[in-house]
Copies of this chain bind each other. A is one copy, B any other.
Amino acid sequence: MVETIQWTDDGVVMIDQTRLPLTEAYVTCRTYEEVATAIRDMIIRGAPAIGVAAAMGVAIGVLRAGEADLDAQVETICDTLAKTRPTAVNLFWAIGRMKRLYDSLQGRPIAEIRARLVEEAKLVREEDIAINRAMGRNGAALVPDGKTVLTHCNAGALATAGYGTALGVIRAAREAGKNIDVFADETRPFLQGARLTVWELQQDGIPTTLITDNMAGHFMKSGRIGCVVVGADRIAANGDVANKVGT
């Protein structure tokens, strides 16, 4: 399985998504500033993955911070990370979660604060994978057998801590024995479909065909597409969905 982001003794290790699919390279962020830069430069992208990165960024920031003026340093760490990608709601959610935990540990020894924040950041990652697997199981039941699944952009393992949201549904359907293949829109202008979705599905041996965005309508009309699974930036209570243009 693709490892999008991991906590290691060296720091936060991310696969460099700007270099995929031609090069599988990993970046180690040893400070919260390096984590912020990685988010800003799209080395890591996808709202859930950014949330995990932000949580780990807070943890590594506090781990490396001096004991003096810790509250002010935590403010700076959180502010810096919050400014990286304002469209990713998970970013603010993860920073808020880490900040609330930090506040609840007021007066505790710094070693304990550091340990608890690192533990929490790892938990954010594990929870995200568990959520994706649950989403996959639920979604897989809706995927028609023997047809092609169409997807747009990358809502995959690379956009999350692992397994993926939209691509998690596809993975779970395959694991459930359904005979499906995937058509991936290339997703202009940044080509996340061509560069990331095709690459990660090929890693798992899932038959995947790259199409241009303007071919999607043709294949939907021809009846080949059994269902469409995509990510969403927001889902409103009434079912309205906001996502990348063209979705």
Contact = CB atoms under 8 A, between A and B. Distances in A.
Chain A interface size band reads 10 to 19
A145 interface: no
Contact of A218 (B212, B217, B245): B245
A178 interface: no
Contact of A245 (B185, B186, B187, B215): B215
Count copies of this chain in the complex. 2
Contacts of A218: 245-246
* Complex A-B, nearest 4 residue pairs according to Cβ-Cβ distance, in ascending order: A214-B246, A188-B212, A213-B214, A213-B213
Interface of A: 185-189, 212-215, 217-218, 245-246
7 contacts: A185-B214, A187-B214, A188-B213, A213-B213, A215-B246, A217-B246, A218-B246
Contacts of A213: 188, 212-214, 246
